[in-house]
Structures are given as structure tokens and as C-alpha cells.
Chains A and B, each alone.
Chain A
Amino acid sequence: MDQNIPQVIQTVPLQYYVFFATALFSIGVVGVLTRRNAIIIFMCVELMLNAVNVLLTAFSAYRADPNGQIFVFFIMAVAAAEVAVGLAIIVMIYRNLQNTDVNLLNRLKF
């Protein structure tokens, strides 16, 4: 490893990272909007967050600016806290309904 990591990242053009992250983000958005299982929706949200992480890391490496990578650490930490709360909520629902299908949640209507 005589090359440092930013240089390795820079061997791929920046646009590719942007396209990749956008594709990953779009898959996440489509998943949230179409899937019916709460856990899978939740996984899609995590996919969106990871798309952001990829994008921030790539920009950070290209600009030789560590701020973006620090931001990624904060996103990871906050996402972990969010997972803890989110899974607790899903478990709570599973205890009451024996299911995690969001279509069963229709007690609150317009």
C-alpha cells in the first residue's frame, strides 16, 4: 500500500460515484414507497443513508477535505441510534399484531 486511500478512490472518476450513489439512493426510495414489510422498508431507508455515505466519502476524497468523512461517522452513529429505536418500535408492533405488514396498520384514517 504505497498509495494512500484518497488516491485509490480518485482512480475512479467522480461522476461514477455520483451516478452510483444516486442509483443506490433511488433503489432505496423506490423500496420505501413500494414494499409493505416494515423491516424491508427500514432496510431501504438504510440503503438511502449508505448512498449518502458513499457520496460524502467520494466528494471528501476528491476535495482532500476531511469534513465529509467526519460527517459520515456522524451519520453512522445516528443511524445506529435510529436502528435501535426503529427495531424496538417494530418489535412492539409485532407483539401486538404478530405481523409487520404496514397494510395492517389502518386504524388511523383520513
Chain B
Amino acid sequence: MNSIILLSVLGLGNLFLGFLRSNRLLLPAAMLMLALVFGINLIDWNEGAQSYFNNMLVIDNFSVAFTGVVILTTFLLIPFSQKFVRDGEANLAEYYSLLLFSLVGAVMMVAYNHLLILFVGIETLSIAMYVLAGSDKRNLRSNEAALKYFLMGSFTTGILLFGIALVYGATGTFQLSDISFAVQNPINDSLQPMLYIGMLLMLVGMGFKVSAAPFHFWTPDVYEGTPTFFAAFMSTVVKAAGFAAFLKLMVQVFPAASAQGVWLPTLTAMCALTLLLGNVGAVAQTSVKRMLAYSSVSHAGYLLIGLVAFNGQLEGASANAIFFYSLAYSVATVAAFGVLKLVADQRQREDYNGLNGLAKTNPLLAFVMTVAMLSLAGIPLTGGFFGKFFIFSAAVENGYIGLVVFAVVMSMVSIYYYLRPIIAMYMRETDVTTDEPILVSSFQSAALFVLALLTVVLGVLPGLISGIL
């Protein structure tokens, strides 16, 4: 709760910083604010569940942990915000404020205990992201991304809301625990079909938000057109918050055996399809940014395995596995997008050849990108390996062996496209467009160093955070 209030107030305060007309102040100020919120958020750790607004919002260890992930991700991402808007007249303070406001939505999504808060949280996050996706106003690709994201997002919200309305009709409440009780003790059998249709529509709505197949088709287009900085934000913060919300919905709302008969087969099919389409789609790409977009779809597939294999409570192996995976994935993705943004800004190209010879001109960038790619591919000694390991072992314990075998095969496919940037950086020669070293500011070098370090630490000492929930 403190983090919601603080983020809102600081977001407003940040708008006033815009009056100073000094853009150099904005980045350190935003980083300071995020560090402050991160610290304040940790105060609620292990304080037990505290409920606010008539039990509509509950702050517990689960929400504190995921709030920590989204704020840490934003903190490490924000140094790459320099020159993120090409429009010289734009007021940069507004963009930082929108980022802070969208984080308010993310925190509400991880802490909701009432479907109203889920809806308001998703919308707070999404509406800010619609604006940010179109922040490159004169670039038609950015315009197109904004319109696609906006139309798909509001369409999805409509579907999610219709699902919520039907569930409300069948159960008479929006409170998570009451819905769960009503699902397990149905008052009236004739209302069951309405409940099931409502659940499926909510599943479709959440599937769109976390870009799970077959509702993923907007993802590559939107990520490609959106300015790289905001694409990184979308593929990390939006996804981590979305999965936390999805997990809470699965575990707290529909745990009854009858409801699982509807959820689980659908979710398992979505999971397998997401893994297949995400990984196969990524192989065919020539643009690194599009590859990362498909990679985010395929990682949604791995996270869905964690949802399928949940063990019925928010404290336990499954929640821990999803938490660890979100953190490892977010850190590696921020590193990859950060390097890509620095390279693309200077070399004006986002394909694999744009990375040629990076190891000679900028060894630090090439090294960080390599660590990020290895982590995303799930190679041992990186965080991504243990992320996959925890998710797969939770799934095997719950008897989803076929799904795990399929996921392992698919992650072998992913090694092909994750190694391509590494080959370009280390084995290809530079040409005229790529022989200049990339300019990296000290903030950015520090962030890249921390990102690489975090990825390796998560891979060497996973026990530090693997059992905290």
C-alpha cells in the first residue's frame, strides 16, 4: 500500500520536475524515486497479510516480492532511457511520470483481492503503456504499434470484463475468497455453465495480456514498432505483473476440482501452443527486436507451465518457481534490450548484422549480451537455468511429464536463435556501418554490469531467493 501511495505521489512530483527545463536532472531523480519505493516496499516484508479498502487489496509476502521484481526491473531499465524520444520538443518528465503511474497499476495487479482492483490495475498499467507505445509521434511504425496495442488491449479488456460479469452473475461476489467458496459450493446447478463461460473468457483475457498463444499475434508487431526502451518495459514489467495476477487468479479463485476441469485442459493446451509458436516464430526472424518479442512469447509458455503445475497455495514451490523465473527473465531481457537499444541508436539497424563485431568495438556490451542470451536460453551458471529448472521440477512433481519433455525440446530449439547474436558479435567482422565503438554513459555501464552480475549470481547461488515465498 505504501508503494502505491508513494508511486502516485512521486509520479505527480516528477511532472513538476518538468518545469525545471533541465532534462539532466530527470534520470537521477527517477532512479532515486524508484530506489526509495523499493526500500519502502520491503518494509511490509514478513509483516503478515495486511488488507486495505475493505479487504479489496491485500499486501502479503507474495505481493511484496512481485512489487520488488517490477520496481527493480524498472530501476535497472531506466538508465537506458536517454534519447528515448527523438522529438526534441517533447517534455521528458511526462514519460517518466507515465512509467511511475504504470507501476502503480502493476502493484495493484499483484496485490488485488477483489476483481475490481484487478481490472483497475490492468487498465492503469495498460493506458499508460498505450501512450508510451506511441511516444515516437512522427514515426509511423510507432503510431501503428500504439494503435494495434490500444485496439487489442481494449478489446481484451472487454472480454475480461464480460468474463468477470458472468462470474459475478454465477457467484454474486467479486471478492476472491468468496468466489472460491461459491465455486466449490455451487448454490444452483443451472448457473454452472455461466460460471464456466465466465472463467474461460477471463482466461482468454489474461492470455491476451500476457501474450500467450493463440492470443500472441499482436506481440511481435507491437514490440517492433514501440521505441525499444518501452518495448523492454512491456516485455518485463507488464509480463511479470500479468503472471503474478494470473497465478493469483488460478490459485485463489478457481482451485475447486470442478473448476479445474475447465481451466486446466485449456491452460495446458495454451501452454503447449505458446511454447511451439513462440520458439518456432523466433527462429524465422531477422530482426533482433522481433526475435526478443517472440522470445517473450515463448517465455510466457514456460511461465504457463508453472501455472499449470501450481500446487494450490500462494506460498509454495509453484509461486516460488514463477517468482524466480520472472526475476531471472526480467533481468536478462532488460540486459538484452538495453544492449540492443544502445547499438540500434547508433548504428540505426536492429537486425543481427547490426551486432557484427561488437566484441571488438565494445567488449562490455558484447559480454553482457552474451550473458543475457545464455540466461534466456537456460544455460547453467545463469539465472535462466534455475528458473527453468524450478518450473520443470514443479511440473514433474505434479505429473506433467509430457509437457516438460515438450518444453525441454522447445528450449533446445531456442538455443539456435539465442546463439545467433553471440555469433554475430564474436565471429563476424565489422563493416563500414559497425566499426565505430558504441557510446555508453556511466549510468548505463553500471546498470549493464549489475544486470550481468545479477544473472550470474542467480545462476550460482539460486538459494538466496528461491525459497522466500
1/0 per residue A68-86: CB within 8 Å of B? 1011001100100110011
Of B127, B157, B162, the most chain A CB neighbours within 10 A belong to: B162
Q: Is the CB of A89 within 8 A of B147?
A: yes
Chain A residue nearest to B161 (CB atoms) is A52
Q: Is the CB of A107 within 8 A of B162?
A: no
Of A45, A49, A65, the most chain B CB neighbours within 10 A belong to: A45
A31 to B150, CA, bound (A): 16
Known: A82-B123, A89-B143. A59 touches B165 (CB 8 A): yes
A89 to B364, CA, bound (A): 38
Q: From residue 144 to 188 of chain B, which have CB atoms closer than 8 A to chain A? A: 144-148, 150-151, 154-155, 157-159, 161-162, 164-166, 168-169, 172-174
Task: Tell me which of B120, B161, B162, B220 contacts A110 (CB under 8 A).
Answer: B220
Q: Is the CB of B158 within 8 A of A48?
A: yes
Q: From residue 123 to 142 of chain B, which have CB atoms closer than 8 A to chain A? A: 123, 127, 130-131, 134, 137-138, 140-141
Of A28, A49, A51, A56, the most chain B CB neighbours within 10 A belong to: A56
A32 to B165, CA, bound (A): 20
Verify if B429 is at the interface (C-beta below 8 Å from A). no
B423 → chain A closest CB, angstroms: 24
Q: Is the CB of A25 within 8 A of B151?
A: no
Q: Is the CB of B119 within 8 A of A74?
A: yes
Q: What would 10 more interface pairs be, CB under 8 Å, given A52-B158, A71-B174, A85-B150?
A: A18-B194, A48-B159, A49-B158, A49-B161, A56-B165, A68-B165, A90-B147, A92-B143, A107-B141, A110-B281
The contact sample of 23 A-B pairs, CB cut-off 8 A, is A29-B159, A38-B147, A41-B151, A42-B154, A48-B161, A49-B157, A52-B158, A55-B166, A71-B115, A71-B164, A74-B119, A78-B120, A88-B131, A89-B143, A89-B150, A92-B146, A93-B143, A93-B147, A96-B140, A105-B147, A105-B148, A107-B225, A108-B141
Closest 6 A/B residue pairs (Cβ): A48-B158, A108-B221, A105-B144, A59-B169, A55-B165, A52-B161
Question: Which residues of chain B have a CB within 8 Å of any CB of chain A?
Answer: 115-116, 119-120, 123, 127, 130-131, 134, 137-138, 140-141, 143-148, 150-151, 154-155, 157-159, 161-162, 164-166, 168-169, 172-174, 194, 220-222, 224-225, 281
